[in-house]
Amino acid sequence: MPRARREPPSTDSGPSLRAVPFFAQSDAGPVSLLNRRQRQRLTEISTRVRVPPRMVLYREDTVATTMFFNAGGVVKTFRDLPSGRRWVTGFFFPEDVFGLAQNGVYVRTAQTVTEATLYRVKTEVLAELLRNDPDLEYQFLVKAAHELREAQRQALVVGRRDAVGRVAMFIRQLEQRGVRHASGGGLEIDMPMTRSDVANYLGLSPEAVSRATRMLERRGIVKFTERHRVRIVDRLQFDRLVARV
């Protein structure tokens, strides 16, 4: 991994995972999966680092020795295609884990979008811990299933014909991931990615993303209160648009 600032012992409660569990619960949204003991155990085998924006954490097709728990900030994964285009395959938020490998190598490049606080752990050390802790292994399975569902949702988003609908569904994804900010005007959704990142994730051009966001504002569905912050103004119309797949 490139140079990152190693953090002193932290007052936070350590690495965690957030996902929608298998079994029914009163709140249908994601929950934190790990108990205090599990988080402490992961803290003991991890190194906490603070990483600046736009830092490459690892590159595709390189040997995978480390996995990362996101404790704060946003990270993207991408692949540069032979055509010269960049395909953003995912965004990772607090309580996400990333760095999974295939045949011992990373399948995507990972780069920070914002400043991020990460716990990095050697893959072989984490694997040994999971082999000796079936309950922790189960929670990782729940998280993996959650990420599979998220990937299926992305396929639905990209499959839409209308750019306005794709952008609206992306905003819904951010809202469901808890990327929110309370303001005097109500609940706002943080959207820290660049326009190019959003375009490369949705399979659109940056110009198409700009036109779609302007259309959403003209129709009174959302309002961009700042460059990287949006508020849903008309919830009923927003939900109808998102459901139109």
Residue 182 burial by Cβ neighbours in a 10 Å radius (0-12, 13-18, 19+): exposed
Q: What is the pLDDT of residues 88-134, one digit of tens each?
A: 999 999 999 999 888 999 999 999 999 999 999 999 999 999 999 99
Query: What pLDDT does residue 153 have?
Result: 78
- Are 110 and 191 in the same domain? no
pLDDT bracket for residue 1 (50, 70, 90)? low
Find out whether 68 and 47 touch, Cβ atoms under 8 Å. Answer: no
- Are 179 and 150 in the same domain? no
Query: What pLDDT does residue 101 have?
Result: 87
How many Å apart are CA 81 and CA 159, to the nearest integer?
20
In Å, what is the CA distance from 59 to each residue of 1, 15, 67, 121, 136?
Answer: 9, 23, 13, 17, 28
- The stretch 58-75 carries a mean pLDDT of 95
- Are 13 and 108 in the same domain? yes
Residue with tokens 């569904």: 169
Contacts of 32 (CB under 8 A, 6+ apart): 16, 17, 18, 95
How many Å apart are CA 154 and CA 109, to the nearest integer?
18
How many Å apart are CA 95 and CA 97, to the nearest integer?
7
Q: What is the pLDDT of residues 30-57, one digit of tens each?
A: 888 899 999 999 999 999 999 999 999 9
- Are 104 and 220 in the same domain? no
Query: What pLDDT does residue 9 have?
Result: 47
The dihedral sign for the CA sequence 184, 213, 202, 78: negative
- Are 204 and 218 in the same domain? yes
Find out whether 222 and 232 touch, Cβ atoms under 8 Å. Answer: yes
What's the token pair of residue 212?
A: 């779609």
- The stretch 5-31 carries a mean pLDDT of 72
70 bridge partner residues: 118
Last residue of a domain, which of 108, 123, 157? 157
Return the CATH number at 153: 2.60.120.10
- Are 25 and 144 in the same domain? yes
Query: What pLDDT does residue 154 have?
Result: 78
Last residue of a domain, which of 157, 181, 199? 157
How many Å apart are CA 166 and CA 197, to the nearest integer?
14
In total, how many domains does the chain have? 2
Q: What is the pLDDT of residues 160-207, one digit of tens each?
A: 889 999 999 999 989 887 655 555 556 789 999 999 999 999 999 999
Find out whether 187 and 171 touch, Cβ atoms under 8 Å. Answer: no
- Are 39 and 121 in the same domain? yes
Query: What pLDDT does residue 169 have?
Result: 92
- Are 87 and 74 in the same domain? yes
What range defines the domain where residue 170 resides?
160-243
- The stretch 142-156 carries a mean pLDDT of 84
Return the CATH number at 222: 1.10.10.10
**More reliable by pLDDT, 147 or 216:** 216
pLDDT of 230 higher than 70: yes
Last residue of a domain, which of 108, 136, 157? 157
- Are 71 and 93 in the same domain? yes
- Are 90 and 172 in the same domain? no
- Are 25 and 110 in the same domain? yes
Contacts of 160 (CB under 8 A, 6+ apart): 166, 169, 245
- Are 203 and 138 in the same domain? no
